[in-house]
């Protein structure tokens, strides 16, 4: 019996503290992770058939329970959970908008959000009301038909928390359950709000407050338990996932993904097993990583909750577990019992992970006929570049094949599914040019599975990364702790070499056949960092991209049918729903995330991705609204005199890449979401030490680095920034030409 055929018997008990422009006018623009204020498809019943088992009318505003989510196809006009259904397919049965009329799609309404940071949320729509999150974990309730604000809630995340966020101050959305809205906040809280008013019902701190934990992922609710993970592996934490009572906020259970001190009792037998795969070192002192920072899915028939765990901390196994071993449960798909958190099975996608090849990415549940046998499967395309199909009841490996260029493995053991890892890939003695890169072949941007076309659509990235262990590595109390030499992996300073390096970044949209285990078609994007996707029974696929367009493709062929210029890069996934009989396509537009933070300048070719204009955009057939024109962006290079010695600049370069890189990007191609330090003006340079060492801009997210930097360190970093600014002026890099491939090149 497939998921869609289950009977409904199962009843599971900115504030704007300062945008870059404001800081610029104040002479303080250059610093800080700043806080700113009805068709049948193969293996599926038709909508008409599903309507026979439709749940009863909602009992209260936004009353969603397990029965409604399980029977989501009986009310396809709603989008009631993060992936629309528990299986997270992100496929909608709606057909009002199709390949014939999508050209008539127009903007119906938009809502501006008070931020200039990344937007990654999936809106949830229940009975005409839309619930979503913006940056800094703010929550908004809108009328889904016209965008009217119903209420908003600001959890007042301390601005200094931004310094703990490796990959922007984003949030991927809410969960809605029985009249409440649940959100995880950047500072580690889980909050329950009343759906009709936005009033606080309860709040619980899910993480220790001193270690650099964060929450950016969306919670899920299963059987009256709110499931939430956390992030922070790049900083140095121990990963876990927790369940809380939806009514009271009381903790029900917690499952750690990395063993603690082996001299102390383990929290459960699974961790005792995992500890045997860690050898040497004292990983527990700085956590070990393995955070559950994004994806989950749930099978109500098997009663299994699936979580994906992240990378090790630091990245290199040699640094955290010098004796070797697989280091469970890093980079794994793990099945748990949702009532108790009891371990059931796992599959590790990257044993001994040393590359930031997290498996926290989107997991889809479906049924596939493989070799003539119907199999209940879980599918994932994690950062390591391999598309996996596993038996979701047992974790048995069914297939795994690269969907981009991969060089860290040489194949799989067909019996166990264990990858044959090239020993050189661990970069213990020399640099390894790894493919994919640390940004991943596919990261958090959600995929979609179209059961009628039997295709999974993957927002992919084909790139490489030079992995080099940082000599004399030590954990720092502020900033990232990945153990990779940032200076040696920075962009070439020569403009010609830099353009050649940029050309190796390939953004792709891949339609993957999970049975044939290969691509059906591929779209080549102009910009490497692009948005999540949604597919519909109208044979459509929607995706936003880094050029600033929302695009509709034919889901069976990849043909581009329609687009809309959003004035900013789009990384969030679209959704679709109906209100008053009209189908809408909605997406959050707002440029941000990990790659724009650290390699913003890789996109400098005049694209809309160069600026963030944070909005909710909603489209319908015949929509007539137009976006207002934006004022031009003006950047002025105004550095002090370049008087430092070559030795001081060289030392400053090394320090910059160890302490500043994660927020302000590579100083060769910086200029992403946060201030590009090359544009620090003379007035701000006079305040350099007060900002870097005294925390002058703590309220804007730029904390003091005095605990890890001396006054001389601060001056050396400043000298390097000044030198890079003069280099930019000398080489006229501000308007350097782009060498990007054509947009939307389709290959069969």
Enumerate the active-site residues.
356
The burial class, CB within 10 Å (0-12 / 13-18 / 19+), for 581 is exposed
**What is the DSSP annotation of 626-693?**
-PPPPPPP------------HHHHHHHHHHHHHHTHHHH--TTT--SSS--GGG--HHHHTTHHHHHT
CB neighbours of residue 553 within 10 Å? 28
- Distance CA(499)–CA(505), nearest Å, equals 10
Residue linked to tokens 């502020």: 478
Cβ–Cβ under 8 Å, residues 344 and 327: no
| Residue 688, C-beta contacts closer than 8 angstroms, at least 6 positions apart | 714, 715, 718
Cβ–Cβ under 8 Å, residues 183 and 133: yes
Angle formed by the axes of helices 646-659 and 711-731, nearest 10°: 100
Structure tokens belonging to residue 376: 């209940």
Which segments within 73-171 are labelled E, that is strand?
91-92, 105-112, 124-126, 129-133, 139-143, 149-153
3-state helix, strand, coil in the chain (%, to 5): 15, 30, 55
Q: How close are the terminal C-alpha atoms of the chain, in Å?
A: 34
Three-state helix/strand/coil letters over 172-188: CCCEEECCEEEEECCCC
- Distance CA(170)–CA(117), nearest Å, equals 7
Which segments within 96-197 are labelled E, that is strand?
105-112, 124-126, 129-133, 139-143, 149-153, 175-177, 180-184, 189-194
What does the CA dihedral 473, 475, 478, 482 come to, rounded to 10 degrees? Answer: 60
| Residue 612, C-beta contacts closer than 8 angstroms, at least 6 positions apart | 115, 116, 117, 118, 568, 569, 590, 591, 592, 673
| Residue 9, C-beta contacts closer than 8 angstroms, at least 6 positions apart | none
- Distance CA(581)–CA(602), nearest Å, equals 43
Cβ–Cβ under 8 Å, residues 506 and 462: yes
Q: Would strands 91-92 and 533-536 be described as parallel, antiparallel, or unpaired?
A: parallel
- Distance CA(139)–CA(178), nearest Å, equals 17
Q: Would strands 240-245 and 465-467 be described as parallel, antiparallel, or unpaired?
A: unpaired
Residue linked to tokens 């199999």: 375
- Distance CA(106)–CA(625), nearest Å, equals 7
């Amino acid at each position: 019996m497939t998921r869609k055929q289950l009977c409904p018997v199962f009843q599971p008990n900115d504030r704007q503290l300062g945008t870059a422009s404001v800081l610029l006018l104040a002479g303080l623009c250059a610093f800080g992770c700043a806080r700113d204020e009805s068709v049948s498809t193969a293996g599926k019943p038709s909508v008409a058939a599903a309507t026979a088992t439709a749940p009863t009318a909602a009992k209260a505003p936004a009353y969603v329970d397990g029965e409604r989510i399980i029977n989501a196809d009986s009310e396809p006009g709603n989008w009631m959970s993060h992936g629309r259904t528990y299986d997270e397919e992100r496929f909608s049965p709606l057909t009002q908008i199709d390949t014939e009329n999508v050209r008539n799609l127009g903007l119906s309404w938009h809502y501006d959000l008070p931020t200039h940071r990344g937007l990654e949320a999936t809106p949830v729509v229940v009975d005409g009301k839309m619930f979503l999150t913006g940056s800094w974990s703010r929550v908004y309730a809108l009328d889904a038909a016209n965008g009217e604000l119903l209420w908003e809630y600001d959890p007042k995340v301390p601005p200094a928390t931004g310094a703990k966020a490796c990959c922007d101050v984003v949030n991927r959305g809410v969960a809605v359950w029985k009249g409440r809205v649940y959100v995880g906040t950047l500072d580690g809280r889980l909050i329950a709000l009343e759906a009709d008013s936005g009033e606080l019902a309860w709040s619980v701190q899910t993480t220790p407050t001193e270690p650099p934990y964060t929450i950016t992922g969306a919670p899920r609710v299963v059987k009256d338990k709110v499931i939430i993970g956390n992030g922070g592996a790049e900083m140095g934490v121990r990963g876990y996932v927790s369940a809380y009572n939806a009514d009271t906020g009381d903790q029900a259970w917690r499952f750690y993904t990395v063993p603690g001190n082996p001299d102390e009792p383990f929290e459960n037998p699974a961790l005792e097993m995992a500890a045997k795969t860690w050898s040497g070192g004292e990983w527990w002192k700085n956590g070990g990583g393995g955070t559950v920072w994004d994806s989950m899915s749930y099978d109500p028939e098997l009663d299994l909750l699936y979580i994906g765990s992240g990378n090790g901390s630091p990245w290199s196994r040699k640094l955290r577990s010098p004796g070797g071993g697989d280091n469970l449960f890093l980079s794994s798909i793990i099945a748990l019992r949702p009532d108790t958190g009891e371990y059931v099975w796992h599959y590790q996608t990257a044993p001994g992970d040393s590359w930031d090849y997290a498996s926290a990415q989107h997991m889809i549940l479906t049924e596939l006929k493989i070799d003539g046998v119907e199999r209940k499967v879980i599918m994932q395309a994690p950062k390591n570049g391999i598309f996996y199909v596993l038996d979701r009841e047992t974790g048995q490996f069914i297939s795994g094949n690269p969907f981009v260029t991969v060089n860290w493995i040489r194949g799989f053991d067909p019996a166990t599914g264990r990858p044959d890892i090239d020993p050189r890939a661990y970069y213990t003695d020399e640099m390894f040019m790894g493919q994919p890169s640390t940004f991943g072949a596919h990261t958090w941007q959600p995929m979609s599975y179209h059961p009628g076309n039997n295709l999974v659509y993957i927002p992919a990235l084909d790139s490489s990364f030079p992995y080099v262990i940082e000599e004399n590595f030590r954990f720092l109390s502020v900033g990232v702790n990945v153990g990779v030499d940032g200076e040696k992996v920075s962009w070439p300073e020569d403009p010609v070499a830099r353009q050649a390096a940029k050309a190796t970044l390939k953004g792709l949209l891949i339609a993957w056949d999970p049975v044939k285990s290969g691509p059906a078609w591929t779209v080549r994007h102009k910009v490497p960092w692009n948005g999540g996707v949604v597919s519909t029974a109208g044979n459509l696929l929607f995706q936003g991209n880094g050029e600033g367009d929302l695009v509709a493709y034919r889901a069976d062929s990849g043909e581009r049918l329609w687009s809309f210029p959003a004035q900013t890069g789009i990384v969030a996934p679209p959704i679709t729903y109906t209100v008053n009989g009209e189908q809408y396509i909605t997406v959050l537009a707002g440029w941000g995330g990990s790659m724009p933070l650290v390699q913003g300048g890789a996109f400098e070719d005049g694209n809309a991705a160069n600026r963030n204009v944070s909005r909710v955009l909603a489209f319908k057939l015949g929509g007539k609204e137009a976006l207002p024109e934006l004022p031009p962006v003006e950047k002025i290079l105004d550095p002090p005199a370049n008087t430092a010695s070559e030795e001081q600049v060289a030392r400053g370069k090394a320090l910059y890449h160890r302490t500043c890189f994660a927020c302000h990007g590579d100083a060769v191609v910086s200029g992403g979401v946060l201030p590009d330090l090359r544009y620090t003006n003379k007035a701000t340079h006079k305040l350099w030490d007060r900002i870097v060492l005294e925390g002058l801009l703590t309220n804007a997210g730029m904390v003091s680095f005095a605990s890890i930097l001396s006054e001389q360190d601060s001056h050396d970093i400043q000298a390097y920034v000044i030198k890079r600014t003069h280099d930019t002026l000398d080489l006229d890099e501000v308007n350097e030409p782009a060498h990007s491939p054509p947009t939307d090149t389709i290959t069969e």
